Amino acid sequence: MPFFGWIGELRDGKILKADILAGVTVALVLVPQSMAYAQLAGLPAYYGLYASFLPPMIAAFFGSSRQLATGPVAVVSLMTAAALEPIAAANPEGFLIYAVLLALFVGVFQISLGLLRLGVLVDLLSHPVVVGFTNAGAIIIATSQLSKLFGVTAESAPHHYEKVYNVLVAAMQNTHMMTLAFAVVAIGIMVGLKKYMPKIPNVLAAVVVTTVGAWLLGFETEMGGKVVGSIPAGLPPISLPSGIDWDIATQLMATAVIISLIGFMEAISIAKAMAARTRQKLDANQELIGQGLSNITSGLFSGYPVSGSFSRSAVNIDNGAVTGFSSVVTGLVVGLTLLFLTPLLYHLPQATLASVIILAVINLIKIEPIIHAWKAEKQDAIVAVVTMLLTLYMAPHLEIGILVGLVLSIALFIVRSMRPRVAVLSRYHDGTMRDISVHPLPTSDHIQLLRFDGSLYFANAGYFEDKVLELVASKPNLRYIIIDGEGINQIDSTGEEVLRHLAERLKSNNIEFLVARMKKQFMDTIRSTHLLEEIGVDHFFSRIQFALNYAWDGLGDDYDRTQCPLRRQVD
């Protein structure tokens, strides 16, 4: 019960006042945003309000982040739309039930991960995959609103890019100019206020101005424009979905898993950023439980899948929110809107909601992380680009892009781990051991020092053996091979077996196999398999220098160690 940690702080009047102000401010952004995102999900606008009433409160009570603002978000709404589109085409009357069911599936899966302490599974979605998918998702979301922006209807198509083309063709032929005008006004208000008067809630201002303008001008009745229309007054009743076709429901489960992971990754990324700023303790598994309960609550009260919002969380913390009570205030304001203010939203133009979505997701399109990934590791940049392009091409089947990106990132990681860096070391002038491929240093004909920069397991054990044998072949007078084990974090049964055979083969060629600077995990394995005794306890050393001393002593008095390239130079 994380809320027990902050509920007592509300006795402080300053904290209570700050939370109320932040909660009201977030609600002013959330009300129009949630309606816009619901329509992005292919649902009636009021479903967004239902998903913004109780879920933010539940997430605040049971999540570990105090400032995370939960509710409808763009990417999850887009994925919901992709999941529901085929159902809506086959069953236009009953597909709303499956939106509710999807929220329940997402919630159950997230709670299961949290209770089983499996939040670490989210780490399988690498940063490049998320960056590529987020960029593609933002582009898809923005372009999906073009028809509402221009006030046109276009023929549907199997792929999103084909539908966008149809919309652009229709816009060139039959743009509804007043719809476009309202969109331009809304965008102008939001951009202008954000730049010149940032303290004024720009989204709310755009909604108020365009709604009043649409009412005064008869935008719907006289001009044929599209508005939100009637919104049922009152709070959503608690109910369970009925009349479910379980063949269809099972098809939603795979999408629910992906939405759960993507939604939670977005939420936990935001929560971590805010925790670093406020120095609060964050528990990923507890946050999974909070997000799961909020999704179940959304499903029980006629909502759809929710997650943590970056923009609203930023508004929350920037307005001084200290505890989760700010999200409780946000939910209460949304509840008051449902009870008393829905008639005022009747004349809100659809073009305004489209403008809200477009401006909200433009900031999600970021090329800099891909460029940065290219500088850090080119393969990661390739994963990001492939994920982005494939998601764009396969839309509305968004899960394909994520799954391919996930498989590609894991495959590339395995390939990299199969061929870790193997460095031949020699003594540098400052006394340290350096890679001779980087620093052209002389090496000994009798003693070779080798460093393996990776865990020794089935996929790279053969590679390790090949490299050692290549070194042996290049040094016919070799007597000692010293393995610097500092980089070997783990060793599996295959790696242990290779070490055993390698030591035996070297011994048969009168070459001794020495290991220095081993880690505990390495030593635990070779002790339990008795390889330590077979190679010889005296062949393992805590420092490289001790291994060198052993080798020099073994070479005898005839060997002039003062001329050995591995000797430490003394000024």
- 72 and 123 together in one domain: yes
Q: What percentage of residues in the chain have a pLDDT greater than 70?
A: 99
Identify which has the larger pLDDT, 555 or 272: 555
pTM given for the model: 0.81
Question: What is the per-residue pLDDT across 162-192, written as a single tens digit (0 to 9) for each?
Answer: 999 999 999 999 999 999 999 999 999 999 9
Residue 570 has pLDDT above 60, yes or no: no
Nearest to 147 by CA among 163, 162, 174, 167: 167
Distance (Å, whole) CA 444 – CA 549: 14
- 319 and 343 together in one domain: yes
Q: Which of 411, 438, 469 is the last residue of a domain?
A: 411
Question: What is the per-residue pLDDT across 378-410, written as a single tens digit (0 to 9) for each?
Answer: 999 999 999 999 999 998 888 888 889 989 998
- Per the structure, the complete domain to which residue 460 belongs is given by 421-563
- 391 and 427 together in one domain: no
Contacts of 204 (CB under 8 A, 6+ apart): 28, 29, 31, 32
Answer whether residue 570 is part of any domain: no
Identify which has the larger pLDDT, 120 or 485: 485
Residue 450 has pLDDT above 70, yes or no: yes
- 348 and 206 together in one domain: yes
CATH of the domain at 448: 3.30.750.24
Question: What is the per-residue pLDDT across 359-369, written as a single tens digit (0 to 9) for each?
Answer: 888 888 889 99
Residue 309 has pLDDT above 60, yes or no: yes
- 24 and 103 together in one domain: yes
3-state SS, residue 392: helix
Answer whether residue 190 is part of any domain: yes
Answer whether residue 416 is part of any domain: no
Identify which has the larger pLDDT, 245 or 462: 462
Distance (Å, whole) CA 336 – CA 53: 9
Residue 266 has pLDDT above 90, yes or no: no
Q: How would DSSP label each residue in 11-50?
A: GSHHHHHHHHHHHHHHHHHHHHHHHHHHHHTTS-HHHHHH
Question: What is the per-residue pLDDT across 200-210, written as a single tens digit (0 to 9) for each?
Answer: 888 889 999 99
- 450 and 364 together in one domain: no
Nearest to 235 by CA among 93, 104, 54: 54
Residue 232 has pLDDT above 70, yes or no: yes
Q: Which of 366, 382, 411 is the last residue of a domain?
A: 411
Q: Which of 411, 437, 468 is the last residue of a domain?
A: 411
Answer whether residue 496 is part of any domain: yes
Residue 571 has pLDDT above 50, yes or no: no
Count of all residues that appear for the chain in the document: 571
Contacts of 52 (CB under 8 A, 6+ apart): 30, 31, 34, 71, 72, 303, 330, 331, 334
- Give the confidence band of 27 by pLDDT, cuts at 50, 70, 90: very high
Mean pLDDT, rounded, for 249-276? 86
- 337 and 473 together in one domain: no
- 380 and 450 together in one domain: no
- 193 and 123 together in one domain: yes
Average pLDDT, the chain: 90
- 393 and 495 together in one domain: no
**Phi, psi angles (nearest 5°) of residue 122:** -65, -25
What pLDDT, on a 0 to 100 scale, did the predictor assign at position 241?
83
Mean pLDDT, rounded, for 24-31? 91
Answer whether residue 511 is part of any domain: yes
Q: Which of 38-52, 186-200, 279-293, 556-570 has the lowest mean pLDDT?
A: 556-570
Answer whether residue 280 is part of any domain: yes
Mean pLDDT, rounded, for 326-338? 95
- 546 and 469 together in one domain: yes
Answer whether residue 460 is part of any domain: yes
Q: How many helices (H) and strands (E) does the chain have?
A: 23, 8
Residue 532 has pLDDT above 80, yes or no: yes
Answer whether residue 217 is part of any domain: yes
The count of domains in the chain is 2
- 378 and 294 together in one domain: yes
| CA angle in degrees (0–180, nearest 5) for 200-327-198 | 15
